[in-house]
């Protein structure tokens, strides 16, 4: 295994014997664990902030989606009613128009016969 360290630190370690370096590693394992905990803490802090922001965003989107869904359901109901109303109204108007056309035709026919 190869470890690259800053030049200044390397110079300091160079002054130590192999036994002293192994001892340094052994004696500092606990400190290394604390450092790993601190690194994990920093990572978790960052993750927490990201999650809090994501949560806010989802809550906002969910609220907007719920509002949209509710309104869309009301609109659907309203458009159904209007569609039915217009269908009936158009049917009555078409009958009225046909009646008018029939009356007009009869009138024209009567006039032609008279002439």
Cβ contact 13:5 at 8 Å: yes
Compute and round to an integer the Cα radius of gyration of the chain: 43
User: Min. distance of Cβ 49 from another protein in angstroms?
Assistant: 10
Per CB under 8 A, contacts with another protein among 1-40 are 1-7, 9-11, 13-14, 18, 21-22, 24-26, 28-29, 31-40
Size of the site for another protein (CB under 8 A): 65
Nearer CB in complex with another protein: 70/110: 70
Our finding on whether 103 is near another protein (CB under 8 A) is no
Contacts of 16 (CB under 8 A, 6+ apart): 24
Our finding on whether 73 is near another protein (CB under 8 A) is yes
Residue 49 phi/psi, 5-degree rounding, is -60, -45
């Amino acid at each position: 295994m190869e470890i690259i360290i800053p030049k200044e630190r390397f110079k300091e370690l160079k002054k130590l014997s192999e036994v002293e370096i192994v001892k340094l590693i052994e004696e500092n394992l606990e400190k290394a664990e604390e450092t790993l905990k601190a690194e994990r803490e920093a990572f978790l802090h960052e993750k927490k902030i990201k999650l809090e922001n994501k949560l806010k965003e989802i809550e906002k989107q969910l609220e907007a989606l719920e509002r949209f869904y509710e309104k869309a359901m009301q609109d659907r109901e309203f458009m159904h009613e209007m569609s039915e109303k217009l269908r009936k109204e158009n049917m009555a108007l078409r009958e009225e128009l046909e009646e008018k056309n029939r009356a007009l035709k009869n009138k024209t026919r009567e006039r032609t016969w008279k002439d």
